[in-house]
Amino acid sequence: MSFKILPKHLFKTWVERLRATHRVVAPKEVYGQYIFDEIHSADEIVLDYHTSVLPPKKYLLPPREELFDFNAKTMEMRPLIEEIQPTVIFALHTCDMHAMTILDKIHDTGYADQHYQARRRKTTLVSIECLTPCMEHAFCKSMGTLSVPDSFDIHLTDLGDRYAVDVGSEQGEALVEGMTFFWQATETDYDKVNEVMATKWPSFQYRLDFDVTELPDLLAVSLKSPVWDELGDICLACGQCTKVCPTCYCFDVVDEVDLRLEHGKRIRVWDSCLIEKFAVVAGGHNFRSSRARRLRHRFNRKGKFQQEAYGLLGCVGCGRCALSCPVHITPVDTFNRLNARRQRAQEGQARSS
């Protein structure tokens, strides 16, 4: 929509102006880690953070939320849609922007999720170009998420003494409207953006040993791969990998009812397909009882099932699950091991034919 320039020394002025009308959420440092949290001063924002512990999805899909309340006697129900303050989330990395695109699509397909959408309507996203890898586990270049998706509201690029401010939506336009300290980009600014982007690209490595477009097929032929049992043998079924994932959205629902069993609320809480009880159904049957099968399911969701259902891969290469897994199970290692086995099997077939 428009391409503007913001001098760096005026960035905090912009944030403070936004704080007058919005809740502003941004990465900030807490005990050496970075978390997305509401800021109460522009001084708290850390733009050059490595990855955050939890992704910003927690502002759209909270770990615990009330869906509706009910009267068990009269059978009346009332939806509980949270009306949040207009919110700006600052400094999303491009992988997290891709994750938001996936969540938007999922929650707007079929039975649209009113709770998610009510929050999303009030949320504007300000992303930032990653100029160097944020951490060793990130593999965004392999997953095609190193550039911002088209759905951004505002995207910032650090040009040294100034930010390039790419405005991509009307919601984004509203955040810069009337702010006279932005100016229209000149030829010099465009040249600087090109220079910065050309320098950035080689500093990221491809970490998958194959092209990501092959991933759904690789998983399809790997259904019976021994890799799943090897990983299942060491997995602790702690569910940590799903808790930190920006694209995981599986949940459980519980009813909280008062002591007289009259009034209650239905609550949605985060769940994890890696924990043992996730797939337990009536009669106590567990249709994914082994850790190997649960891991296989999770990696298939990331690399195959969501591609088939929504046209987008379910993994954006942020690396959070690799960072947080206590036994070092990582998507890169898993996918590369499956690929190596597939290659060995193909070579064996070629020799015997």
Question: At a CB cut-off of 8 Å and minimum separation 6, what does 155 contact?
Answer: 126, 127, 128, 129, 148, 165, 166, 168
Identified binder of ligand SF4 from the candidate list 239, 300, 307, 338, rule CB under 6 A: 239
Q: How many residues does the chain have?
A: 353
Q: Residue 346: enclosing H or E segment and its boundaries? A: helix 331-352
What is residue 215's three-state secondary structure? helix
- Binding region for ligand SF4 (CB under 6 A) out of 39-47, 84-92, 102-110, 244-252: 244-252
β-pairing verdict for 154-158 and 123-128 = parallel
Which residues from 265-324 bind ligand SF4, rule CB under 6 A? 274, 302, 315-321
89 binds ligand SF4, rule: CB under 6 A: no
Strand order in the sheet with 183-184: 33-38, 23-30, 87-92, 123-128, 154-158, 162-167, 2-7, 183-184
Identified binder of ligand SF4 from the candidate list 52, 124, 127, 247, rule CB under 6 A: 247
Residue closer to ligand SF4 (CB basis): 163 or 278: 278
Which residues from 176-235 bind ligand SF4, rule CB under 6 A? 235
Residue 43 CB, nearest distance to ligand SF4 (Å)?
A: 30
Identified binder of ligand SF4 from the candidate list 210, 296, 331, 335, rule CB under 6 A: 331
Alpha-carbon torsion, ordered 139, 143, 203, 136, to 10 deg:
0
Enumerate the H helices of 150-280 as residue ranges: 170-176, 187-200, 215-221, 227-234, 240-243
Q: How many residues bind ligand SF4 (CB under 6 A)?
A: 25
325 binds ligand SF4, rule: CB under 6 A: yes
> How many other β-carbons are positioned within 10 Å of the β-carbon of residue 92?
27
Identified binder of ligand SF4 from the candidate list 128, 134, 329, 338, rule CB under 6 A: 329
Residue 315 CB, nearest distance to ligand SF4 (Å)?
A: 3
Residue 89 CB, nearest distance to ligand SF4 (Å)?
A: 17
345 binds ligand SF4, rule: CB under 6 A: no
The residues that touch ligand SF4, with contacts defined as CB under 6 A, are 235-241, 244-247, 274, 302, 315-321, 325-327, 329, 331
